[in-house]
Homo-oligomer: A and B are copies of this chain.
């Protein structure tokens, strides 16, 4: 039987430890091709490059993994997937995995996430896709303990097939004193960021800002990704790219939009 072809990408850049771990885990399941950004792309959301050129170079990062091919790409995570599918891969991959992100993409963070934008881009193209994130921003975070779970989720996705129009947003709790308790299917928690702009003055006397913020959970549900993570479970949120709020169409049809 042909081994599954796995496209691996991320938003932290091709040398990020989270991606190197994911490549290693995926090599045990299938053939791996990497198309990942040549520099960090955090917070890029679903950006694509329309007003600039793109390039992709065949590279070797850590030959020990025995990856089939590895491309370092000048674009965003969504660009990487588009280029991979259209130009670089010899056949359509069986699955696309993105990450493992250094930091959470749970709840509202999915909106800003380059990791998830890559997965969503693959999903739009009809390819089963999963974004993986570890809730630990540090560059030397412990990815090794996630292996069993990451492989299980990928294998189950290959086995069961992905629901139509859906990609998976997987978040893994940071290492704690006890082992991870298991995997929970969740909904996206309601949350937002309370922005705090750190205002400074540059050497020319002009104001400038750094965007910072505090995460604000607005949801007490016990079926959310935030609840699962807080209780040391891995959260899996089925995430869709049909953004229509179907349940509100009836309500909006009662507005007087077509009367003068």
Contact = CB atoms under 8 A, between A and B. Distances in A.
Contacts of A246: 187
Nearest to A197: B87
A10 interface: no
Name, among A120, A160, A252, A253, the residue most crowded by chain B CB atoms within 10 Å (CB to CB): A252
Interface residues of A, number: 78
Nearest to A218: B126
Contacts of A242: 187-188, 190
A117 B45 contact: yes
A47 interface: yes
B257 A45 contact: no
B49 A46 contact: no
Contact of A86 (B169, B197, B200, B254): B197
A236 B208 contact: no
A156 B40 CA distance: 42
Interface of A: 40, 42-51, 53-56, 75, 78-79, 82-83, 85-87, 108, 110-112, 117, 120, 124-125, 152-153, 156, 160, 163, 165-166, 169, 182-183, 185, 187-188, 190, 192, 195-197, 199-200, 206-211, 236-246, 248-249, 251-258
B111 A124 contact: yes
Contacts of A111: 46, 120, 124, 241, 243
Contacts of A238: 244-245, 248-249, 252
